[in-house]
Structure 1
Amino acid sequence: MRRRFKLNVQLAAEILLLLLLTLGVLTYYSHKALSEEARCDAGLMLDATILDIDNILLSVEQGAGNVYHDVLAHLDDKQRMFTYARELVESNPNIIGCAFAFKPGYYPGTDLFMAYVHRKNTANAFKTELVETTSFTNRTYTEQSWYTETMKSGWIGWTDPLTGDDTENISLVSFCLPIIDKSGERVGVMAVDVSVNQLSKIVLAAKPSENGYSVLIARNGHYIVHPDISRLDNKTVYDRAEEGTDPGAIAAAEAMLSGYVGETSFKQNGEKWNVFFKPFVRNEWKGRHMGEGTLGWSVGVVYPDDDIYGMHNILVYLVVIITIMSLGVFFLLCTWLIRRKLRPLRMLTERAQNVAAGDLDQIVAVTSRDDEIGQLQNRFGKMQNSLKKQIDAIERETFMLNQRGEMLKATYGKTEESDKIKSSFLRYMIQQLEAPTQSIDSSVTTLCNNYGNSTNEEVGKQVNNIAAKSEVIIDLLNNISHFTETNERKEADND
C-alpha cells in the first residue's frame, strides 16, 4: 500500500512540477507581453496627452495671434485694449484672462496702464461674468516675471506656472507676446492666461486607464497637470521631497525634468505605480512661433500596477487554483486507475510471495489481455507451471536418492557386521594356529640342532609331532577357506 501511495505521489509530483514549469514560462512571457503592451499603450497615451495639451495651447496661441496684429494697429487707443481682451476671453473657454500691460509712461498722463479682463469664476468657463480691471494681484505688473522677462528679452512663449504673489490664489500659465510699436520698440506685453487647474481637468478627463492619470511638469518643478488639486500649488517636486514623498516618485519627477524618455515605478499609498514619460514637444505649424519648442515641460502617464497586471494576476491565480483542483481530481483518478491497472500486478506479487514461501498450488490463470501486464501474467503462469514441474521432478529424484541411501546404509551396516565377524573369526583362527605353529617350529629347531646326536626314537617323536600339528593347521586352514567361501556366497546373494 505504501509503495502504491508513493507511486501516486511521485506521479502527481512530476505532473505538478511540469505544470509549475509551464505556468512559470507562461507567466513570464505573458507578463513580458503585457509590459510591452503597456509601454506601447503608454506611448500612444503620451502622444495623445501631448496632442490634447498642445491643442489647448495652440488654440490660445491662435486666438492671441488673431488679436495681436489688430492691437498693434490701434496702440494709441488704450480703452480699446479692454475690448480686445474681452473678445479674446469670450472666444476661448480655455482662456481665463487676458492682459495688455504697457511700459510706464507709454500713455501720456498715465504712469502704469494695464487692461486686464478675466473670468470671475474659473470653474465654469461658459457661464461666468467677465471682470475688467487695471491691476493684477497686490503687486504692480512691472514687478511680475511674466512682464519683466518678456520686456527684457522680447521672449514669445509660455511661462512656467505662476503661483504665489504672481497670481490671485490660482495657478496660471501665460502665453506672452511683446507689444512692439511702429518704431520696433517693445512698449508692452500681451499675456493670455490659462488656469492650471482648468487645464488639468481637461487633460485628466481622458483617463489612460481606469485608475491611471496624466501629469505635466514645468521646467521649474511645478505641476501643470495632476489629479490631486493640492499639488497644483506653489510647491515644486523638490519641496515635496522634503515632505517625505516617496523617493521613487521624486526620482521619476527628476528624470522628467531632465528631459529623459523612459519609465520607472514608485510607491504611493502602499500601492505600486508605473510612470511613462517623455518631453512635451509642441507640434510645428505654419506661422507658429516655436521658440524653445519643448518649453522644458515633460508629460507622463501614470498607471497603478493593478491596471496593467491586475487581470493578468487574477488569471494566474485562477489558473493556479484550477490547476491545483485539477491536480487533485487527477490524483484521485490516477489512484483509481493505478489500482485498477495494477490489480494483476498485485495478484502476481502475492503469487510471487507464495512461490517464495514454497506454495506452488495457487496457479495464475491465463488472461486474454494483450498488453504488457497480460503478457507478464501469462509468462508468470508458465514460469510457475514450469517451476512446479521441475520441483516435482526434484522431489522424485530426492525420494529415490533417499531410498538408495537407506539401502546403502543398511548394506553398509551388514557389511560392517560381516567384517566384524570375519575379523573375530580370523583373530580366533590365528590364535588357534599359533600353538601348532610354535610346536612345529620347536620340533624343527630341535631336529636341526640335535640332528647328529638324536636317536631314531626322538627323531620319530619330533616327526610325528610335526605331522600331527600340520594336520591341525591344515584343518584350521580348511575351516578358514570354508568360512571365506561361505561369506562370499552370502555377499553375492545380498548383491
Structure 2
Amino acid sequence: MKKTTLSYHIIRNVVLFCIGLFLVIFYVYYYFTRNTIRDHTNENAIFLADNIVNRIEQVLTSSEKNPELVAKMLESSFLDKDSLISFMKSMLKGDDNGYGAIIAFEPNFFPDKGEYFAPYVFKQGDSVSYNILGDKNYEYFYMDWYQIPKILNAPYWSEPYFDEGGGNVLMTTYSVPFYTYKNGVRTFSGIVTIDISLEWLTKIMSEVKILNTGYAFLLSRNGVVIAHPNKDYVMNQSIFTIANENNQPAMRETGRKMIQGQSNFESAGFSSKYKTGTLWINYASLPSSKWSVAVIYPDKEMYASLKEMNIILVVLILVGLSLLSFVIYKIVSKLTAPLKDFAESARLIAAGNFNVKMPQIKTEDEMKDLHNSFSFMQKELGNYMINLKDTTAAKEKIESELRIAKEIQLSMIPHIFPPFPDLPQIDVFAVLKSAKEVGGDLYDFFVIDGNKFCFAIGDVSGKGVPASLFMAVTRTLVRSISDKETSPSVIVETLNKSISQNNDSNMFVTFFLGILDLSNGILKYTNAGHNPPVIIKSNKESVMFEKTKYIPVGLFEDFKYGELSLQLDPGDKIFLYTDGVSEAEDCENNLFGEDALMDAIRMNINASPRELIGKMEEKVSAHVNGFSQSDDITMMTIVYNG
C-alpha cells in the first residue's frame, strides 16, 4: 500500500470539506441568482409588452375620435354632401396618425351621385388629396371594413390589409357605422373610416430590445402576423401556419390563447427558422382592436450572464482551493516537521539505541508534550531493557530448572516398553503428557513377590511444580508401602494417612491402585475418587469399572478405604486414564467426553496397548484441533495374557 503523509490527509480533508462547503454556497448562489435574473427579465418583458400596448392604444384611441365624431355629425345632418370633402380634409390634417379617411354611403344614398358614392381623402406628401371611390371594380360595400361593422352594428378595427384601390399602402381601418332617419326610422346609411398605416407599428415593435436577440411581434385578432423582425412573416403567415410548418403544438396553443384576448407569461420549447430552443413569451391583448402583442426571448440568453458568472466563480474556487492547499501544505509541513525527527528517533530506539538525542522543540504546545513523552519513553525503555536482561536471565534459569525437573519427573515413572520381557502373562503401555513443563499426573507399575503385578494411576490437584512434587511423594510412598503390604485398600489407607499429615497446602490426589495375581487372573483394586477404568473383555465387550464412593487421597487422615476384586480372563485388557482425556476441550469448550472415549475403544478393540493409546491420542487431538489444554493427559493399557 502506498505510503501517505499527515500533510496529505490534512489537506485532503480540509479541501474536501471546502469543496462541499463551496458546492452548497454555489448551489444557493445559483438558485437565488437564477430566480432573480428570471424575475427581473420577466418584469422587464411585462413592462415592454405593457408599454407597447399603451403606445398602440394611445394611437388607436386617438384615431377613433374623428370618425366617431363624423358619424355623429352625419346622423345629426350637420354635414351635407357638398361640404363633406372639405370637412374630411380638415379632419385628416388634424390627425397625425391618420393616412386616409372615407365616408362610404349605402348604394344610391344620393340618387344624383349614382350607386357608388364614397369620398376618400388621403395624405400625399404635405397635402391632402381625395378620390371618389366606388365602381364595378371597387364595390366597397362588399368589403370587410364595410360589411363587418354594418352587421355588428358597432365600430370595428379591420384586419390589416393592402388597400389597392385607396391608399395603396398596408393599413388597418377603423370603421364606424352611421345612421340617418328616413320617414322617422333610424336607418343604416354608411360607414365612416380612418386608415392607420402600419409603418408606425413596425417602428414601435422594432424599438423593443430585450437581451441580445429578444424581440416583439404583433398579431391580429385572427392570429395574422402584423409586425415581426422576420419580414417574410408579415401579412404572409399567421402564428398557426408557422406552428404547423414547424410542428409546434405549444406555439399553436399559445396563439390560441393570444387571439382569445388572454394575457399571460409562459415558457415553451419553440423551434422555427427564426428562433429555436426554450423561449419565454409574455403576451397581452389590445382592448380596442383585439390584437395581441408578444415579447419573446431565449431562455439561454436570459441565463447567459449567469453562465459567465458561474465559470468565473468556478475558476476562482479552483484557484482558491489551490492557494488554500498550498498554504495548508506549508503550514502543516512546518508544524509536523519534528514528527519526522521523532519517527527517526523512534526507529533508532527500537533498534536498541536508547541514548539517541531527541529533536529540540521550542514551542510550548502539543509538540512539546510529544517531546516530553518520547524522552520519558526513552528513559523508561532503557530502564526496562536493563531489568529485562535480569528477568530474562532469571527466566532462563527457571526454565532450565523446569526442564531438569521434567526430566527427573519422567525418569521416576516407567518409560521403557515392554517393561517385563520375561513375564509373558502381562503387557503394558503408558503415556504421560504434561500441560505445563511439569505436571501432577502419575502412573506406575511394578511386580511384587514375583507373581503379583501392581499398577497405579493418579491425578494430583493443582498444576506445575507443587503438583509434580506431590506426585513424586505419592509414587515414593506407594512403592515403600507395597514392600510390606499387598492389599490395595491397606496400601491406599496407609498412603492417605502419610499424605494427610502436615498437608498444609490441602492438596489431594485421585488414585486408582490395582494388584493382579498373574497366576490366576484375580484383580484386587481400590479406587480413591479416580475415573473408573475400562475393561475390555476377550469377547470384545467393553465396560467401565464399577464406580466407588471413596474420596481422593490426602483429604481425611482416618478415612477407611475398601477394595473390590475382579476375575480377568486371558486376553482381557484394562484401559486407565486421567480426566485430562475425557475433559479435553475444543475452542468452543466442548468436552471430549466418556461416550467418545468408549467409541474410540470399541473402534480399536483388537489393537495392542501401544496401538490403542496411539489411536486414543489421535481422537483427542482431532477433537481439540490444536486448542491449548490446561490439564495433563495420562493413559495406560494393560493386557492380561494368562
TM-score by length of 2: 0.54
Q: Determine whether 1:133 maps to 2:139.
A: no
Task: For residue 96 of structure 2, give the secondary structure of its aligned residue in structure 1.
Answer: coil
% identical equivalent positions: 21
Taking the aligned partners of 1:323 and 1:113, their CA distance within structure 2 comes to 80
Give the structure 2 partner of residue 190 of structure 1: 192
After superposition, the C-alpha distances for 1:383-433 in whole angstroms (9 at most, x for unaligned) are 33322332233235446767x689x89xx9xxx9xxxxxxxxxxxxxxxxx
Residue 361 of structure 2 is aligned to residue 367 of structure 1: yes
For residue 187 of structure 2, what is the amino acid of its counterpart? Answer: E
Please point out which of 326, 331, 341 is paired with 2:335: 341
Give yes or no for the alignment of 1:151 onto 2:150: yes
Alpha-carbon spacing, 1:385–1:161, altered in 2? closer, same or farther (3 Å): farther
CA separation in 1, counterparts of 2:259 and 2:280?
A: 17
Aligned residues: 391
For the residue of structure 2 that corresponds to 1:19, the secondary structure is helix
Going from structure 1 to structure 2, the CA distance change for 1:165 and 1:7 (only over 3 Å counts) comes to farther
Q: Distance in 1 between matches of 2:227 and 2:129?
A: 26
Please report the RMSD computed on the Cα atoms of aligned residues, expressed in angstroms. Answer: 3.3
Of 283, 286, 297, which aligns to 1:280?
A: 286
Q: 2:31 aligns to what?
A: 28
Task: Give how far 1:307 is off.
Answer: 4.9
Rounded to whole Å, the distance in 2 between the matches of 1:314 and 1:66 is: 58
Deviation at 1:152, TM superposition (A): 2.5
1:376 aligns with 2:370: yes
187-196 or 339-348, larger mean C-alpha shift:
339-348
In structure 1, the gaps of 5 or more residues are 121-126, 283-294, 417-495
* Closer/same/farther in 2, CA of residues 372 and 72 from structure 1, 3 Å limit: farther
Q: CA deviation at 1:107?
A: 1.1
Aligned to 2:257: 255
Describe the shift of the 1:75–1:393 C-alpha distance in structure 2 as closer, same or farther (beyond 3 A).
same
Query: For residues 359 and 193 of structure 1, do their structure 2 counterparts lie closer, same or farther at Cα, with a shift above 3 Å needed?
Result: farther
Question: Is 1:161–1:218's contact at 8 Å kept on the other side of the alignment?
Answer: yes
* Aligned mates of 1:365, 1:393 — CA distance in 2: 27
Partner of residue 386, structure 2: 392
**Offset at residue 10 of structure 1 (A):** 4.2
- 1:275-305 per-residue CA deviation (whole Å, 9 max, x = no partner) reads 11233335xxxxxxxxxxxx54332222233
Give the residue type in structure 2 aligned to 1:252: T
Q: C-alpha displacement at 1:306, in angstroms?
A: 5.1
> Residue 8 of structure 1 contacts residue 335 of structure 1 at CA under 8 Å; is this kept in 2?
yes
Letter in 1 for 2:282: F
Distance of 2:247 and 2:78 partners within structure 1: 50
Partner AA of 2:131 in structure 1: T
User: Does structure 2 conserve the Cα–Cα contact (< 8 Å) formed by 1:218 and 1:296?
Assistant: yes
Describe the superposition over 1:352-404 as per-residue Cα deviations: whole angstroms up to 9, x where unpaired: 444444444434335242333443343233233322332233235446767x6
Indicate yes or no: 2:53 matched with 1:50. yes
1:139 and 1:165 in contact (8 A); partners too: no
Rounded to whole Å, the distance in 1 between the matches of 2:342 and 2:276 is 64
Report what 1:331 is aligned to: 325
Alignment of 1:45-124 (within 5 A): 45-73=48-76, 77-109=80-112, 110-120=114-124
- Tell me, what secondary structure is at the counterpart of 1:231? coil
CA distance in 1 between counterparts of 2:209 and 2:121 reads 32
Give secondary structure in 1 for the equivalent of 2:232: helix
Paired with 1:116 and 1:276, the residues of 2 have a C-alpha distance of: 39
Among 39, 43, 64, which residue is 2:42 paired with? 39
With over 3 angstroms needed to count, the CA separation of the structure-2 counterparts of 1:13 and 1:111, relative to structure 1, is: same
Q: Which amino acid aligns with 1:31?
A: R
Q: How does 1:226-265 map to 2 (within 5 A)?
A: 226-244=228-246, 248-260=250-262, 261-265=264-268
8 Å Cα contact 1:197-1:229 kept in structure 2: no
* Partners of 1:85 and 1:76 in 2: CA distance: 10
Deviations 1:13-68 (A, max 9, x none): 33223212211221012111222223333333332222112111111112334444
Give the match's secondary structure for 1:390. helix
Q: Which has the higher helix share?
A: 1
Displacement of 1:186 in angstroms is 1.4
Aligned-partner SS, 2:323:
helix
One-letter amino acid of the counterpart of residue 281, structure 1: P
- Residue identity opposite 1:327 in structure 2: L
* Residue pair 1:277, 1:298 contacting (<8 A) in 2 also: yes
* Aligned mates of 1:68, 1:271 — CA distance in 2: 50
2:256 counterpart SS class: helix
Counterpart CA distance in 1 for 2:222 and 2:247 is 18
- Which letter does structure 2 place at the counterpart of 1:135? L
* Equivalent runs, 1:308-323 vs 2, <5 Å: 308-323=302-317
How many Å apart are 1:340 and its aligned residue?
1.9
Conserved 8 A contact 1:117-1:133: yes
Specify whether residues 67 and 164 from structure 1 end up closer, same or farther in structure 2 by C-alpha distance, changes over 3 A only. Answer: closer
**What is the CA–CA distance in structure 2 between the aligned matches of 1:37 and 1:233, rounded to whole Å?**
33
CA distance in 2, matches of 1:102, 1:187: 6
Unaligned runs of 5+ in 2: 409-642
SS at match of 1:230: coil
The one-letter amino acid paired with 1:30 is: T
DSSP 3-state at the match of 1:362? coil
Q: Is 1:200–2:198 an aligned residue pair?
A: no
Rate the CA distance shift 1:279–1:377 in 2: closer, same or farther, 3 A. farther
**Partner of 1:2 in structure 2?**
4
User: 1:100 Cα deviation (Å)?
Assistant: 1.1
Q: Give the Cα–Cα distance (whole angstroms) in 2 for the partners of residues 167 and 217 of structure 1.
A: 24
**Contact between 1:101 and 1:115, CA under 8 Å: does it hold in 2?**
yes
Q: Give me the whole-angstrom Cα distance separating, in 2, the residues matched to 1:235 and 1:170.
A: 18
Change (3 A) 1:151 1:222: same
Please name the residue that 2:296 is paired with: 302
SS at match of 1:233: coil
State the distance in 2 between where 1:338 and 1:136 align. 99
Which runs of 4 or more aligned residues in structure 1 lie more than 6 Å from their structure 2 counterparts after TM superposition?
Answer: 164-169
- State the match for 2:526 in structure 1: none
Name the aligned partner's letter for residue 142 of structure 2: E
1:84 corresponds to which letter in structure 2? F
Contact 1:53/1:203 (8 A) holds in 2: no
Q: More displaced, 153-162 or 171-180?
A: 153-162
> Contact conserved, 1:217 with 1:298, CA < 8 A, in 2?
yes
**Alignment match of 2:219 (pick from 214, 217, 220):** 217
**2:107 is paired with a residue of what secondary structure?**
coil
* 1:54-103 C-alpha deviation (Å, 9 max, x unpaired): 11111111233444434445576335333333333322332222111111
Q: Check 1:169–1:325 CA distance in 2 against 1; reply closer, same or farther (3 A cut).
A: farther
Cα 1:307–1:55 shift into 2, 3 Å = farther
Cα offset, 1:313, TM superposition: 2.2
- What is the TM-score of this pair, normalised by structure 1? 0.69
User: In the aligned structure 1, how far is the partner of 2:13 from the partner of 2:267?
Assistant: 44
Q: CA deviation at 1:199?
A: 1.6
